[in-house]
């Protein structure tokens, strides 16, 4: 088997209803089809009930999937455990189970800036929609105006969100991974905190914004621009 170019880490907690759709979209990624993508499922549900059985049945439908049973609750801890215990690739993609990419070469494009120097990070655009309505993707319902506003924010703010972030394993190790107990107005902000610390370590220019890569995610954890601005106001 070829060595993996990228690990994609997906923390899960009762995500069975979303995960099959997520993995289906990942299975058509170019790196997956070439056996260069390793999918890590970091499950932090603490029981071993029928839900665990359902999770394993879903994962059994796909190749190159590693299941890491996380020892305690917490999305940041789950991301760290998945990356450290389930991955070996030099590049890492952070993702969420209720999300999917807009194009089949998205991961390939996101890791391309990381390969030369093994540091820094990259991001595409994140937007919200209902992932499935009547069995069909409804990503085309998002207004182009939203894309333009969000693109400006992604270019000027030193952060990305967990559903659309790529970074090197070297960078991950150098800043100590994700931090627990990071919340912004009650919303988990471990991904915002992580990318701000990447900027502080490598400089703001270490971030590469890729405007044609978009991640669509559900509205259930909607994060608004006001929260982002509030969180980044003390960034230097």
pLDDT in tens, 157-167: 666 777 889 99
Flag whether pLDDT at 112 surpasses 70.
yes
Higher pLDDT, 205 or 61: 61
Q: What is the DSSP string of 170-184?
A: HHHHHTTSPPSS-EE
Q: What is the mean pLDDT of the chain?
A: 81
Class of domain 6-232: alpha beta
Q: Structure pTM? A: 0.85
Residue that the structure tokens 């969000």 belong to:
150
Query: If pLDDT is split at 50, 70 and 90, which confidence band does 181 have?
Result: confident
What are the CA-CA distances from residue 224 to residues 80, 145, 165, 185 (Å)?
25, 15, 18, 11
**Residues forming a β-bridge with 136:** 133
Which of 140, 146, 138, 160 has the alpha carbon at shortest distance from 207? 160
Phi, psi of 199 (to 5 degrees): -65, -40
Q: What is the pLDDT of residues 43-53, one digit of tens each?
A: 887 665 555 77
Domain ranges of the chain: 6-232
- Sheet with 65-69, edge to edge strand ranges: 65-69, 37-43, 6-12, 91-94, 165-168, 121-128, 207-217, 99-101
What pLDDT, on the 0 to 100 scale, is given for residue 229? 61
What pLDDT, on the 0 to 100 scale, is given for residue 186? 66
Q: What is the pLDDT of residues 20-56, one digit of tens each?
A: 989 999 999 999 999 999 999 998 876 655 557 788 8
**Residues forming a β-bridge with 232:** none
């Amino acid at each position: 088997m070829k060595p993996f170019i990228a690990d994609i880490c997906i923390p899960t907690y009762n995500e069975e209803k979303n995960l099959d759709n997520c993995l289906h979209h990942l299975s058509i990624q170019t790196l997956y089809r070439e056996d260069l993508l390793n999918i890590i499922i970091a499950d932090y549900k603490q029981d071993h009930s029928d839900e665990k059985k359902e999770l394993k049945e879903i994962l059994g439908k796909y190749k190159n999937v590693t299941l890491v049973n996380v020892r305690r609750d917490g999305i940041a801890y789950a991301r760290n455990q998945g990356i450290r215990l389930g991955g070996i690739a030099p590049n890492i993609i952070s993702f969420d189970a209720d999300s999917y990419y807009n194009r089949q070469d998205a991961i390939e494009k996101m890791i391309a800036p990381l390969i030369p120097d093994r540091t820094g990070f990259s991001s595409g655009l994140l937007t919200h929609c209902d992932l499935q309505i009547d069995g069909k993707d409804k990503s085309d319902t998002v207004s182009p105006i939203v894309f333009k506003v969000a693109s400006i924010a992604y270019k000027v703010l030193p952060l990305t969100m967990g559903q659309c972030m790529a970074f090197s394993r070297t960078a991950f190790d150098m800043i100590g991974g994700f931090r627990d107990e990071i919340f912004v107005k009650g919303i988990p902000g471990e991904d915002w905190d992580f990318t701000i610390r990447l900027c502080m370590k490598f400089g703001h220019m270490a971030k590469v914004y890729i405007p044609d890569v978009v991640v669509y995610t559900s509205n259930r954890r909607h994060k608004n621009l006001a929260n982002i601005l509030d969180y980044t106001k003390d960034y230097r």
